[in-house]
């Protein structure tokens, strides 16, 4: 009997992280990096943002915005090293390093979002 692969799960994390990185990050960078600092739009107050982040649905969205692009980047970096640089003999070590860092970043994001007052 063939061993089941975890590749479909990792590819789903890759694709959802890529979607978030392509569609959501540019909007957030535009708003918080250009529009609010330059006064094009009224910036939300600290109290308003804290009240928004204090709700659990927003925390789940922020968790997805933090964790899924980490897995996208880990998967892309892994296959860049594996295919691009032809480091096929270190495949297991590279996979552990890449996905381990994505898991560590996800745990850190969960810890930070859990401890918001």
- Residue at 1 is within a domain: no
Where do we find the tokens 């107050």?
Answer: 45
- Residue at 3 is within a domain: no
> 77, 98 in Cβ contact below 8 A?
yes
Q: Which domain holds residue 54?
A: 8-114
Please count the structural domains in the chain: 1
User: Residues near 88 by Cβ (< 8 Å), separated by ≥ 6?
Assistant: 82
> Which two three-digit tokens encode residue 19?
């979607």
| Claim: this prediction has a pTM higher than 0.85 | no
- Residue at 2 is within a domain: no
State the CATH number of the domain containing residue 30.
Answer: 1.20.1300.10
- Residue at 103 is within a domain: yes
> pLDDT digit of tens for each residue in the chain (117 aa)?
778 887 888 888 889 999 999 999 999 999 999 999 999 999 999 999 999 999 999 999 999 999 999 999 998 998 888 888 888 788 889 889 999 999 999 999 999 999 987
* Alpha-carbon distances of 37 from 21, 44, 67, rounded to whole Å: 22, 11, 26
Measured CA to CA, the distance from residue 33 to residue 13 in angstroms comes to 27
Residue 24 DSSP class: T
């Amino acid at each position: 009997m063939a061993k089941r692969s975890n590749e479909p799960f990792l590819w789903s994390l890759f694709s959802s992280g890529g979607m978030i990185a392509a569609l959501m990050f540019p909007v957030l960078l535009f708003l918080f990096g250009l529009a609010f600092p330059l006064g094009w739009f009224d910036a939300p107050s600290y109290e308003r943002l804290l009240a928004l982040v204090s709700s659990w649905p927003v925390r789940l969205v922020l968790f997805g915005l933090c964790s899924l692009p980490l897995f996208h980047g880990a998967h892309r970096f892994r296959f860049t090293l594996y295919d691009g640089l032809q480091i096929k003999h270190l495949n297991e070590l590279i996979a552990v390093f890449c996905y381990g860092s994505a898991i560590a970043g996800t745990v850190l994001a969960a810890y930070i979002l859990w401890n918001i007052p």
